[in-house]
Amino acid sequence: MQYFEIRGGKKLKGEISVNGSKNATVALLAATMINKGTTTLKNVPQIEEVNRWVEILESIGATIERSGKTLIIASPKKINLKKINKEASQKTRSVILLIGALSGRLKKYFIPQAGGCKLGERTVRPHLFAIEKFGIKIKTKNDGFEIDTRNIKPANEVVLYESGDTVTETALMVASQVSKKTVIKMATANYMVQDLCFFLEKLGVKIKGIGTTTLEVRGVENIEKNITYEISEDPIEAMFFISLAIVTKSRLKIKKCPIEFLELELLKLEKMGQKYEIVRRYTSRNGKTKLVDMEIYPSKLKALEDKIHALPFPGINMDNLPFFVPIAVMAKGKTLIHDWVYENRAVYFAELNKLGAKINLVDPHRVEIVGPTKLKNSKIISPPALRPAAIILVAMLGASGKSILRDVYSINRGYENLEERLRSIGADIELKEDNC
């Protein structure tokens, strides 16, 4: 078990770059199984979530070469799900994406369930409603999902049961393997969905409406191509560094920020009094995503009168919402944050009280934060959720004295070599082994 030892309260300086998107990467890793050829993915973040996916794909027959941030994936001629690495599958919720990715290659198959039965039931229902339009049958078992694609057929129109990123990706992957046109409605236009669309286009799939909530997909049966695709940068990691600069009252340059997926977050911050400057605009190496370099300046913040809540894109991203918690701790007045998407995630926000924050848990979805508050050091066990764990780390870096954040696997799932990158901008942080 690993932990972070942090001596916080230090101002950061210099510049730091945003890495490739975690959520786009896992979708594309699943989608490589659509392709019977060889797929080269570039700008792949070197994180634990990717390590688990490599283990999963290799266990079902894929051959993978790794060289830094590049993965070369040769899809197996015959996929053997009986040998799937169940331990790795149970550590990533995104394994559910294989339901759609394998729909054009296997007639009957079983995907292990991740995260327990209750999570599986809650997660799979929108997927079931989406793929049943294609004639696919799915049964939820205690330990996974049974999928039957023997009667797969074109679906003229699919209305998604909820506007979710993963269910949109599932519908896209199925539609991409059916030759006739499918119209997907209530799709999300979020960054990882757009990356998946750009990738599928490389495979020859025709997609209209990218960046909107209605996607028109004309798929291709039996895809076998050798392609290269570069993954776009991660707006959630960009928000991590933005919040870190704010909480530590630092001047920091953040490079490669996907601006289209940060615009509302930045507007909210601007109305809170945060000062920043966009110093360069350009396009990601995928040729699609708009990037900026921005400079964050120390600022005095005031609380917004309106609540802060997430919505599907172009609203505040649900994974960016938690970063407003440590930011609100720095703001004068009361801030109401409504995390309506996830059951009980807001409960973890109150962990910042151990660092001196004044956070009142209104209910399992809402917290009221009173600021500004001077943060203090503490010892905390990391929550088993990536974003709540990340905001505790942000707060500890802003708190004077030595803090300990234990059991940081959840952070390593989503952030690459984080302690080294943070030290490069002046943070005093070490990753250590906990032998207790």
Structural element, H or E, at residue 118: helix 117-131
Distance CA 432, CA 419 (A): 10
Strands, DSSP E only, in 286-348?
Answer: 290-297, 301-302, 308-309, 331-338
Q: What's the chain's average pLDDT?
A: 94
Reported as a pLDDT band with limits 50, 70 and 90, residue 118 is very low
Per the CB < 8 A criterion, the answer to whether 41 and 28 are in contact is: yes
Domain covering 22-230 in this structure, CATH number: 3.65.10.10
Write out the CATH class of domain 2-19+233-433.
alpha beta
Residue 297: Cβ within 10 Å count: 14
Q: Which residues pair with 233 in a beta bridge?
A: 20
Amino acid at 206: K
Phi, psi dihedrals of residue 355, rounded to the nearest 5°: -100, 10
CA distances in angstroms from 5 to 296, 340, 356, listed in the order given = 25, 32, 18
Determine the Cα angle at 78 with ends 75 and 82, to 5°: 105
Distance CA 81, CA 69 (A): 27
Q: Which residues belong to CATH 3.65.10.10 in the chain?
A: 2-19+233-433, 22-230
Give the pLDDT mean for 389-397: 98
Reported as a pLDDT band with limits 50, 70 and 90, residue 120 is very low
Q: Helices 235-247 & 386-398, crossing angle to 10 degrees?
A: 30
> Could you tell me the two tokens for 267?
């507007």
Residue 416: Cβ within 10 Å count: 19
| Percentage of the chain modeled with pLDDT above 90 | 86
Global pTM value: 0.95
Residue 231: Cβ within 10 Å count: 28
Assess whether pLDDT exceeds 50 at residue 119: no
How confident is the model over 61-79, as pLDDT tens digits? 999 999 999 999 999 999 9
- Alpha-carbon dihedral 416, 419, 421, 423, rounded to 10 degrees: 180
Reported as a pLDDT band with limits 50, 70 and 90, residue 141 is confident
CA distances in angstroms from 42 to 29, 87, 190, listed in the order given = 11, 26, 20
Reported as a pLDDT band with limits 50, 70 and 90, residue 126 is confident
How confident is the model over 164-215, as pLDDT tens digits? 999 999 999 999 999 899 999 999 999 999 999 999 999 999 999 999 999 9
How confident is the model over 309-366, as pLDDT tens digits? 999 999 999 999 999 999 999 999 999 999 998 888 999 999 999 999 999 999 999 9
